[in-house]
Amino acid sequence: MNKYRINFTVLIGFILLLSLAGNAQVFTQVNEISASISATGSANMATADDAWALFTNPAGLSRLRAPELVTGFSRPYSQSFFTSQNAVAAFPFKKYGTVAIGYQNSSSTYSGKSLSTESAYTVSHAFYLQKDILSTLAIGYALNIYQVDYGRSAGLSGDGSDGVNLGNGLCIGLDLGISGSLHERSWVGLFVKNLNSPEMGNSITSMRLPRSLAVGFGYEPYYGLKTDFLIFQAIGNQKTQYRAGIEYQVVPWLMLRTGINTEPNRIGFGFGITKFNFTINYAYVSHPVLPETHQFSIGFKLAKYDK
């Protein structure tokens, strides 16, 4: 048992070391991945165990026991011109780990015409490096194909009908996640976004996509209650974001969630309802300046699947 404690301690030390080394930016940095995540203040990276882990810490995909299909939608800050949607399909294959594919899209429109569109297509694989009744250690990686379309300029008419095409871009980013646990009650996780520092465009129009580093901790004092804490650092940004959240399973079919984060200071809360392998989630997220965000997601799990 001492060996497992040592392994867990080494993992924590390794994660803290990377977090210090990374203190040195998908396109727009978005915390609100899905309703189940947003409601906890986007803090549940270390305890992620469903298909949504693809976007928060791909190592969490290793905990899936059955295939899952999930999708979500929101209008960030309740703005009618701005939409965001995503979807994930994840498939566990026992000793070969879990494979997942995902899609993210956000777009802004004006008078029915597209101003800009950002899309990401993701393929991920996660597997256990170690798993026994006392501890687990998993790793996950994800390959992202990023695409952006800037639409057309306003033109002389001002509505884009006679504008010029502003161009588009394409590049590839790599994410890396690590997750460890003791007795499936204490968790620690690390997630590095755009590890390879992808660059879009060329010459004077080139830009590096945002990179970030997140270190998370989770604890389940008793079954049905999970607490999370996360430290998030956008590389190149001097401000560090802190997040904390709680999930409480009131009854087998109802989950309540709440959470907070800093920079900016925001509060989130929501719920999840599960019946007949279907899950519907809702989240409300505040903002100190902009209007609130209402987020919805739905998922389906093939609980009887056995590969």
> What are the tens digits of pLDDT across the range 261-293?
999 999 999 999 999 999 999 999 999 999 999
> What are the tens digits of pLDDT across the range 81-109?
889 999 999 999 988 999 999 999 998 88
To which H or E segment does residue 37 belong? helix 35-38
Q: How does the average pLDDT of the chain come out, rounded?
A: 86
Contacts 24+ apart (CB under 8 A), 303-307: 303/66, 303/277, 304/66, 305/66, 305/67, 307/91, 307/92, 307/93, 307/94
pLDDT for residue 5 = 47
pLDDT for residue 304 = 55
Question: Helix, strand, or coil here: 62?
Answer: helix
When comparing pLDDT for 116 and 159, which is higher?
Answer: 116
Where residue 17 falls among pLDDT bands split at 50, 70, 90?
Answer: very low
> What are the tens digits of pLDDT across the range 33-43?
899 999 999 99
Show the beta-strand stretches assigned E in the chain.
Answer: 68-74, 82-92, 98-110, 113-131, 135-149, 168-182, 186-193, 199-200, 207-208, 212-222, 225-234, 240-251, 254-261, 266-275, 278-285, 293-301
Question: Helix, strand, or coil here: 40?
Answer: coil
Please tell me the distance from the alpha carbon of residue 144 to that of residue 209, in angstroms, as a whole number.
12
> What are the tens digits of pLDDT across the range 216-251?
999 999 889 999 999 999 988 778 999 999 999 999
Domain parsing of the chain, residue ranges: 2-301
When comparing pLDDT for 2 and 274, which is higher?
Answer: 274
* Side chain identity, residue 8: F
pTM of the entire predicted model:
0.85
Tokens for 12, please give them: 């924590």
**Beta partners for residue 134, in sequence order:** none
pLDDT for residue 13 = 45
Tokens for 71, please give them: 């999708």
Tokens for 236, please give them: 């190149």
Contact 71, 86 (CB under 8 A): yes
To which H or E segment does residue 14 belong? helix 2-21
* Side chain identity, residue 226: K
To which H or E segment does residue 165 belong? none
Apex CA 48: angle with CA 45 and CA 194, to 5°?
A: 50
pLDDT for residue 150 = 78
Q: Does domain 2-301 have CATH number 2.40.160.60?
A: yes
